[in-house]
Structure 1
Amino acid sequence: MTGDIQALLARHLPGYRVRSVRRLGTGLDNYVSEVNDELLVRRSRVSEPRKTRQEVARLAAVRELSPLPVPEVVFADDESGAIAYRKLAGTPLNLLEGSPSLRPRELARPLGGFLSAIHGAEPARMEELAPRDAYPMPTLLQDAELDYRDVERHVPVDQRPLVERFLRQHPPAEPELTRFCHNDLGAEHLLVDADGATITGVIDWTDAAITDPAHDFALIYRDLGPEIFELTVSCYEFEVTEEDRARILFHARCALIEDLAYGLSIGPRHYADAALAHLERTFA
């Protein structure tokens, strides 16, 4: 693996001296390595040149839109499906949960401004840079129930009725409006400074799509809680209706069940731990 990374860097950054290569993580579709504590190289398991070029163009557009720092592409390699970025400063927000230095209320205003800018992107322009994601609500609910049955035994007995009541409900109506969204705005993709009060970056745009903005708000609700969600909405320039809120809560609950199942099967355990920690407030 180190040899592959060195070969990529030699091809695209001739003369660049590689002092260290460290594997950071492995996902379902990609794996990421850190080079010299300054570059991140993400490689796809399956090379899809068109998707690689689309992501590079999408990140360029996002850098123009976003008031918060986002990854800057250093080079892309269509053949291997690799993209190298400059490493952004900061620590993933999920790693600071419970830290006395974390000040989540300070994050609401920049999050609201960020979502206003991203969701306000011209749809016609972003259609060329991101796919449409229109997964039907009833299917999402069915998937959530299947995931829950796989992990039900890990849920505290007194909290199971909260989840099961949700699974018996009818899903909300489909959204009337779609916008360009990050579409995976979990705490692990928000970088913050050592004080936990300043967002230093928004990372991992591989799932960005034209979809329901409720997806972005849902993960704020799930990971940061109802209070920070409400503060973020108060700093958002578009109207959030009661119908929007119903979809946000629906997606937050489905996403929590999905993370619980993922963390208890093939994913890192911390996904499951966070899901269990946030379950009661998300389903109450």
Structure 2
Amino acid sequence: MTGDIRALLSRHLPGYRVHSVTRLGHGLDNMVYEVNDELLVRLGQAADPLSHRQEVGRLAVVRELSPLPVPDVVFADDEAGAIAYRKLGGEPLLRNPLIDPALLAEPLGRFLTAIHGAEPDRMRPLAPLDLYPAPTQLQDAELDYRDVERHVPEDQRPLVERFLRAKPPDEPRSLRFCHNDLGAEHVLVDGEATITGIIDWTDAAITDPAHDFALIYRDLGPEVFELTAAHYGPGLDEDDRGRVRFYARCALIEDLAYGLSTGPGYYADAALAHLPWTFS
């Protein structure tokens, strides 16, 4: 596979000298390689030219809007299912447990204000509409929970089971352009608690803005969520907050199931660590 990466670079960056190619990891749909400690090349499991063109286009718009760094596309190859980006500094917040997440609330609030402020009509050609009805999410969460229930500490199971029996929230009144996967693994920070990048825009969509806040709630806790919301221009009402908590809980169960099956184990570790504040 490293030969494929070298061939791509030769085709799109003639004269670029490749000193090292390192496989960083993979997700459900992609494999990521680092080149010369300065480029990241993502290879899709299946080529999707329309999806690639949309991602390149929306990242160009996001770079205009975002007060925080986002990936800069160097080249895209629709036929090979590849996109190359310049590597951003910092490390995923998920791997920086000593960082005080409260220090990130203000920049995250400004970031979400800017991104959610994008005109939906401008973004619709560049991002899909993501409609995932709350009752369906709850049903899926219950199925996932039954698969992983034995891994949840016995004293915490009632928290999850009470949620699964509750009525799902009403649907949102409006939809906006969202990152749609703003977990701690996609927020890069340096040792000074400065956000150095927001990465992985493959799931970006026109959807409920509460989805972006939900992963802040899940990964950084309710207090950091409220601090972030305080810096969010449009504001959040109680209905919004109810959907944030609902999405956060569904997402935690999904991550727990993923980490205990095909995904990296740290997803399950983080889910179990964050379960008390997410469900209490």
Tell whether the structures are fold-level matches, with TM greater than 0.5.
yes
Which ranges in structure 1 are unaligned for 5 or more consecutive residues?
Answer: none
AA of the residue aligned to 2:90: G
Paired with 1:125 and 1:17, the residues of 2 have a C-alpha distance of 38
Q: Using the alignment, how far apart are the partners of 1:137 and 1:268 within structure 2?
A: 27
Distance 1:227 1:139 in 2: 28
Offset of 1:239 from its aligned partner? 2.2
- The match for 1:263 among 239, 254, 259 is 259
Task: State the Cα distance separating 1:106 from its structure 2 match.
Answer: 1.1
Instruction: Report the Cα distance in structure 2 between the residues aligned to 1:194 and 1:13, rounded to whole angstroms.
Output: 33
AA matched with 2:187:
L
User: Cα offset for 1:277?
Assistant: 0.2
Corresponding position of 2:196: 200
Determine the C-alpha separation between the residues in 1 that align with 2:115 and 2:102. 21
2:49 is matched with 49
What amino acid sits opposite 2:218 in the alignment? R
The residue that corresponds to 1:152 in the other structure is 149
TM-score (norm 1): 0.98
1:95 aligned partner, one-letter code = R
Question: Residue 112 of structure 1 corresponds to which residue in structure 2?
Answer: 109
**2:39 aligned partner:** 39
> Are 1:134 and 2:122 matched, yes or no?
no
Instruction: Please give the root-mean-square deviation of Cα atoms over the aligned residues, in Å.
Output: 0.5
Question: Deviations 1:155-190 (Å, cap 9, x if unpaired)?
Answer: 000000000000000100011110000000000000
Give percent identity, aligned residues only.
74
CA distance in 1: counterparts of 2:235 and 2:194, whole angstroms: 25
Tell me the residue number matched to 2:225: 229
Residue 213 of structure 2 aligns with which residue? 217
1:232: Cα distance to partner? 0.2
Q: What's 1:253 paired with? A: 249
Match of 2:186 in 1: 189
User: Could you say which residue in structure 2 is the equivalent of 1:244?
Assistant: 240
One of 151, 167, 178 as aligned partner of 2:164: 167
Measure, in 2, the Cα distance between the counterparts of 1:9 and 1:122.
35
Q: Secondary structure at the match of 2:17?
A: coil
Summarize deviations over 1:256-283 as a string: whole Å, max 9, x none: 0000000000000000000000001110
The answer to whether structure 1 residue 27 and structure 2 residue 23 are counterparts is no
Q: Report SS of the residue matched to 1:131.
A: coil
User: 1:256 is matched by which residue type in structure 2?
Assistant: L
- Matched AA of 2:44: S
Read off the aligned partner of 1:70 and give its amino acid letter.
V
Q: Counterpart of 1:31 in 2: which secondary structure?
A: strand
Report what 1:85 is aligned to: 85
| Structure 1 residue runs of 4 or more that deviate by more than 2 Å after TM superposition | none
* 1:207-229 alpha-carbon deviations (Å, 9 max, x no partner): 00000000000000000001110
The answer as to 2:36 corresponding to 1:60 is no
